[in-house]
Amino acid sequence: MENLNAMKADVLEYAPRLGEEVMRVANVTRGFDKGQGELLVLDGVNLSLREGEIVGLLGRSGSGKSTLLRIIAGLIEPTSGEVAYMGKPLKGPAEGVSMVFQTFALFPWLTVLQNVEAGLEALGVGARARRERALAAIDLIGLDGFENAYPRELSGGMRQRVGFARALVVDPTLLLMDEPFSALDVLTAETLRTDLLDLWTQGRMPIKSVLIVTHNIEEAVFMCDRILVLSSNPGRVIAEIRVPFKHPRNRLDPAFRKLVDDIYAKMTARQTDEKTKKGLELHSWLPHVSTNLMAGLLEMLTAAPYNGRADMPEIARSLHLEIDDLFPIAEVLQHLDFADVREGDVFLTPAGRAFADLGTQERKALFAKHLLRQVPLAARIKEVLDERRGHRAPRVRFEQELEDFVTDDAAQEALDAVIDWGRYAEIFSYNDKTEVFSLADVEA
């Protein structure tokens, strides 16, 4: 917090003028039934959206962002807690709440105009008013001249504009967006972001409030007045950050960069806490990161200009990685005791430095040592293979053991990761066809 306060002094103080409360989420919890028990996805989430603000919901993949957005849209119900829209309890999809998705399912046999009109037809708007409003939305979002084009004739960016037009044509009070720019190329995404912000700041949309879900820290700082950071497993709001910059914002501004840095620190600090608190267990979530990526990052960090320590936002920028790409690599290196992550910086451990300097066979041996010591699932597989006659065991044997604790998806990902790492380390082999682990090839 001190950082933020210090920063306010040297930028133009900016805060949107806030009106009434549009949406309130109070103590919302949501789980999904998974046979063996419930997977808790959202835990005690509180948030309030006021008239006049763009709020960002920032979190890693799987942290429950889409689930929370679907609850706010009235598409699914929370397991417990309350959601109120314009002061009244939300019961099902509300009129005045529109959603934009990552990619839009446009009707391929309808033109742009007909696609945009389709949303109004459901609301029972008459033909003439439909046409008028659809044309206005098309004009607003920069699709002028494409009214009679079919979706297949449009680029990804233009198709996403149709998605926006479809959301805007109903004159929503609240606009919800679920990673609306993440499927677009960098330039197209930036153009669309800027166009949308222009419409917002010029007051050309009747929308009172915008909630945007993203896993991109820069995007959140670029667009939002306030950012809520969601943790993973379960999703909780772990930080709330006000962005005190006027639009248009400059990504290269030192104050902008500093805020991006602070958010990285917050997101990685949390990750480190949880690790030290819990340690790795047999059924810990393991992101499937290739040994090539790990080796690449270790080599890069060892060399100049980093010399063993680097700022995560800087690595992300220089490698064009988003947090969903970079965090898992850093996390796995941390699990394996090749690196440490603190306050948004990655530090190499002595073993991490040693790895980068070794030849291929010695690297494998060092990796094997760390894998067996640090990752209980790898040690477990090795132990079972050592004990069994024939030194073989089917994958399903470990799936069953894991699935008592984690979702099927998490179990599969952990196994795929350990198979990849175990093969590299030459601890065991695995036959993809028969799905059987074995020591045979390794010993041969």
Ligand X SMILES: Nc1ncnc2c1ncn2[C@@H]1O[C@H](COP(=O)(O)OP(=O)(O)O)[C@@H](O)[C@H]1O
Residue 235 Cβ, how far from ligand X at the closest point, in Å? Answer: 7
Residue nearest to Mg ion (CB): 66
Nearest CB to Mg ion, comparing residues 56 and 352: 56
Out of 24, 28, 54, 62, the only residue in the binding site for ligand X (CB under 6 A) is 62
**Binding status of residue 66 toward Mg ion by CB under 5 A:** yes
Residue 98 Cβ, how far from ligand X at the closest point, in Å? Answer: 18
Nearest CB to ligand X, comparing residues 151 and 163: 163
Element (H, E) at 286: none
- Alpha carbon distance 366, 295 (integer Å): 12
- Alpha carbon distance 403, 255 (integer Å): 46
Residue 53 token pair: 């603000």
Binding to ligand X (CB under 6 A): which residues in 99-128?
A: none
Residue 66 Cβ, how far from Mg ion at the closest point, in Å? Answer: 3
Which stretch in 59-67, 274-282, 326-334, 428-436 sits in contact with Mg ion by CB under 5 A?
59-67
Q: Other CB atoms closer than 10 Å to residue 289's CB: what's the count?
A: 20
Residue 146 Cβ, how far from ligand X at the closest point, in Å? Answer: 30
**Binding status of residue 32 toward ligand X by CB under 6 A:** yes
Give the CA angle between residues 196, 197, 201 to the nearest 5°: 125
Residue 408 Cβ, how far from ligand X at the closest point, in Å? Answer: 9
Residue 101 token pair: 């998705």
- Alpha carbon distance 323, 229 (integer Å): 13
Nearest CB to ligand X, comparing residues 79 and 291: 79
Label residues 344-375 b or e (16+ Cβ within 10 Å = b).
Answer: bbbebbebbbbbbeeeeeebbebbbebbbebb
Out of 25, 47, 56, 64, the only residue in the binding site for ligand X (CB under 6 A) is 64
**Binding status of residue 209 toward ligand X by CB under 6 A:** no
**Binding status of residue 61 toward ligand X by CB under 6 A:** yes
The burial class, CB within 10 Å (0-12 / 13-18 / 19+), for 387 is exposed
- The site for Mg ion, by CB under 5 A, has a size of 1
**Binding status of residue 216 toward Mg ion by CB under 5 A:** no
Q: Which does 234 bind (CB under 5 to 8 A by kind): ligand X, Mg ion, none?
A: none
Q: Is the dihedral of CA 203, 241, 74, 182 positive or negative?
A: positive
Binding to ligand X (CB under 6 A): which residues in 405-434?
A: 409
**Binding status of residue 41 toward ligand X by CB under 6 A:** yes
Out of 66, 98, 115, 209, the only residue in the binding site for ligand X (CB under 6 A) is 66
Nearest CB to ligand X, comparing residues 179 and 262: 179
- Which long-range contacts (C-beta less than 8 Å, at least 24 apart) are formed by 315-319? 315/346
- Alpha carbon distance 114, 96 (integer Å): 21
Three-state SS at 248: coil
**Binding status of residue 59 toward ligand X by CB under 6 A:** yes
Check if the beta carbon of residue 231 is closer than 8 Å to that of residue 270. Answer: yes
Out of 25, 45, 53, 67, the only residue in the binding site for ligand X (CB under 6 A) is 67
Out of 24, 50, 65, 226, the only residue in the binding site for ligand X (CB under 6 A) is 65
Nearest CB to ligand X, comparing residues 40 and 118: 40
Of 194, 273, 288, 269, nearest to 229 by C-alpha is 269
Nearest CB to Mg ion, comparing residues 68 and 116: 68
* Non-local CB neighbours of 77 within 8 Å, separated by 6+ positions: 71
Q: Which residue has the tokens 């002061």?
A: 87
| Residues of this chain that bind ligand X (CB under 6 A) | 32, 41, 59, 61-67, 409
